[in-house]
Amino acid sequence: MSPVICSIRREVDVYVAIGRGRELANALGFNTIDRTRIEIVILELTRNLLVHANGGELRFEKIERQGRQGIAIEAVDTGPGIADIALALSDGYSTAHTLGAGLPGVKRLMDEFSIESTVSVGTRVRAIKWVPQRREVKP
């Protein structure tokens, strides 16, 4: 499957992206709790695109590794970048006087998480959630 790309310019784009992500999460067979986690992650990453980077792109992709399926969610922008990534990932840190719970929350909710950012160039946040594997039933 080729990635789904959502341009995030306005508030309404956040809700469109959440809907698209929900469709993919459903199709992959995530349970209700994981689907909610995925929706929260899309909300936080798209809000960050709007608030901190003046917009950007949200991409979702179905991925496979060693027979496991998952969803990769990537937020990409050409905004101001993040000077201190460790600080941005700490609970309560915000340059916008908001909760500062977005990035640390995303990291906790997903299985894999990475940020690449260069000041004055932009930011890429990538997060992966794997579909839980069914336990093998031994004969």
Ligand X SMILES: Nc1ncnc2c1ncn2[C@@H]1O[C@H](COP(=O)(O)OP(=O)(O)O)[C@@H](O)[C@H]1O
CB nearer to Mg ion: give 79 or 102: 102
CB nearer to Mg ion: give 28 or 49: 49
Q: What is the dihedral of CA 119, 124, 127, 52, to 10 degrees?
A: 70
Q: How far is CA 66 from CA 28, 50, 81, 105, in A?
A: 16, 35, 33, 27
- Choose, by CB under 6 A, the member of 10, 68, 99, 121 that binds ligand X: 99
- Choose, by CB under 6 A, the member of 35, 37, 52, 126 that binds ligand X: 52
What does 70 interact with, of ligand X, Mg ion, none (CB < 5 to 8 A by kind)?
none
Q: Is 114 in the site for ligand X (CB under 6 A)?
A: no
Enumerate helices (H) and strands (E) in the chain, giving the number of each. Answer: 4, 5
Q: Is 41 in the site for ligand X (CB under 6 A)?
A: no
- Choose, by CB under 6 A, the member of 16, 72, 94, 131 that binds ligand X: 94
* Cβ pair 56, 10 in contact under 8 A: no
Give me 39's structure tokens: 């929706």
Q: Is 90 in the site for ligand X (CB under 6 A)?
A: no
